[in-house]
């Protein structure tokens, strides 16, 4: 009995030590990962004088939001010195329609590929799946030609089209894998009752698609908002998204380098996606695992 008690105590001690070691490693990795964000925030809250006199990791002696105000309202983006607020609305006008359109079309595609299977459905899905692995750079030239022929080059509308087309492969994959786990009997029963393709989709399939809709919206919003390559390639001047404006702010600073303004502009640009993940991150993970039972 004593040996069993000793063994139990040793086992519990080892378990506690391993658990403590695991937490220590996770804390160290978290600090390492969050350190750049810490430097960005503290630098954006300092004056230029304090940045020159202080160190990289020093906290601001006097917290000031002058750099944030300057980046939002007055920073020079190319030849314009009106801040990045105008380009923020460009990103909103680009991201919101592109996210909604690509999500709705992806849901329709996933629904058709799983519940109304047609001849060649597997080939269509394989081609869409292949599109997920096509690099951005491959589609730059054909997209540029297409936008030029449609007359929407260098416009927010053109960027919406680009992101819808490129994101459709991913949203279709998400919804297809989710709809595979939905019983076919639901669709068959509705078909027997006389419901058509769109009636079944709007009244039966879409109401139970909440988790995967959240996944699609978060994924698409993050990819579209953070995109720089498409924005730099297919827009110019006042139609550019926020990421392009940020690049112009950082690279067109004249005279003394304003690190606090650069950091503030970067934080303002990344803040929307950060808020999305903070507020809806758990739903993203939940939605990804919801359709993993089948398919």
Task: Give the model's pLDDT for residue 278.
Answer: 81
d(CA 145, CA 139) in angstroms, rounded, equals 10
Q: Is residue 292's pLDDT more than 60?
A: no
Token reading at 141: 């030239």
Where are the domains positioned within the chain? 2-64, 85-290
Closest by CA position to 273, among listed 201, 223, 231: 223
Task: Give the model's pLDDT for residue 168.
Answer: 92
Q: Is the dihedral of CA 78, 79, 82, 88 positive or negative?
A: negative
d(CA 151, CA 231) in angstroms, rounded, equals 17
d(CA 97, CA 169) in angstroms, rounded, equals 17
pLDDT single digits (tens) 23-62: 999 999 999 999 999 999 999 999 888 888 877 788 888 8
Contact residues for 281 (Cβ-Cβ < 8 A; gap 6+): 218
55 CB-side CA count, 13 A: 2
Task: Give the model's pLDDT for residue 68.
Answer: 92
Task: Give the model's pLDDT for residue 281.
Answer: 72
Closest by CA position to 218, among listed 164, 264, 283: 283
Closest by CA position to 269, among listed 42, 71, 96: 71
Return the higher-pLDDT residue of 280 and 259: 259
d(CA 162, CA 169) in angstroms, rounded, equals 12
Beta strands in the chain (DSSP E): none
Q: Is residue 7's pLDDT more than 60?
A: no
pLDDT confidence bin for 293, thresholds 50/70/90: very low
pLDDT single digits (tens) 145-156: 999 999 988 889
Q: How much is the average pLDDT of 96-124?
A: 89
pTM: 0.84
d(CA 20, CA 57) in angstroms, rounded, equals 27
Closest by CA position to 68, among listed 43, 34, 50: 43
With vertex at residue 8, the alpha carbon angle to CA 7 and CA 12, rounded to the nearest 5 degrees, is: 115
Q: Is 245 exposed, middle or buried (0-12, 13-18, 19+ CB in 10 A)?
A: buried
d(CA 253, CA 3) in angstroms, rounded, equals 73
Q: Provide DSSP, 187-249.
A: HHHHHHTT--HHHHIIIIIGGG-HHHHHHHHHHHHHHHHH--HHHHHH--GGG--HHHHHHHH
d(CA 114, CA 59) in angstroms, rounded, equals 55
d(CA 109, CA 98) in angstroms, rounded, equals 16
Task: Give the model's pLDDT for residue 55.
Answer: 77
- CATH number for the domain formed by residue range(s) 85-290: 1.10.3720.10
Token reading at 114: 């799983």
Return the higher-pLDDT residue of 83 and 64: 64
pLDDT over 90, % of the chain: 35
Radius of gyration of the chain (CA): 25
d(CA 174, CA 179) in angstroms, rounded, equals 9
Return the higher-pLDDT residue of 275 and 292: 275
d(CA 196, CA 205) in angstroms, rounded, equals 12
Q: How much is the average pLDDT of 112-127?
A: 83
């Amino acid at each position: 009995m004593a040996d069993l008690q000793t063994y139990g105590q040793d086992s519990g001690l080892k378990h506690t030590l391993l658990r403590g070691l695991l937490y220590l490693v996770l804390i160290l990795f978290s600090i390492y990962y969050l350190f750049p964000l810490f430097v960005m925030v503290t630098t954006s809250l300092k004056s230029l004088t304090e940045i020159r006199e202080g160190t990289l990791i020093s906290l601001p002696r006097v917290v000031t939001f002058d750099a944030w105000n300057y980046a939002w309202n007055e920073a020079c983006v190319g030849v314009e010195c009106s801040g990045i607020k105008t380009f923020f609305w460009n990103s909103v006008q680009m991201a919101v329609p592109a996210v909604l359109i690509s999500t709705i079309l992806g849901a329709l595609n996933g629904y058709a590929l799983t519940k109304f299977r047609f001849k060649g459905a597997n080939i269509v899905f394989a081609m869409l799946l292949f599109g997920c692995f096509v690099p951005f750079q491959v589609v730059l030239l054909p997209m540029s030609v297409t936008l030029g022929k449609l007359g929407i080059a260098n416009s927010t509308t053109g960027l919406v089209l680009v992101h819808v087309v490129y994101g459709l492969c991913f949203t279709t994959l998400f919804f297809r894998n989710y709809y595979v786990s939905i019983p076919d009997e639901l669709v068959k029963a509705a078909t027997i009752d006389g419901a058509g393709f769109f009636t079944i989709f709007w009244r039966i399939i879409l109401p139970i698609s909440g988790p995967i809709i959240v996944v699609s919206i978060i994924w698409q919003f993050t990819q579209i908002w953070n995109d720089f390559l498409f924005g730099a390639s297919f827009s110019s001047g006042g139609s550019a998204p926020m990421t392009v404006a940020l690049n112009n702010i950082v690279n067109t600073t004249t005279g003394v380098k304003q690190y606090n303004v650069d950091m503030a502009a970067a934080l303002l640009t990344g803040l929307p996606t950060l808020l999305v993940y903070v507020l809806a991150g758990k739903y993203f993970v939940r939605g990804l695992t919801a359709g993993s039972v089948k398919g």
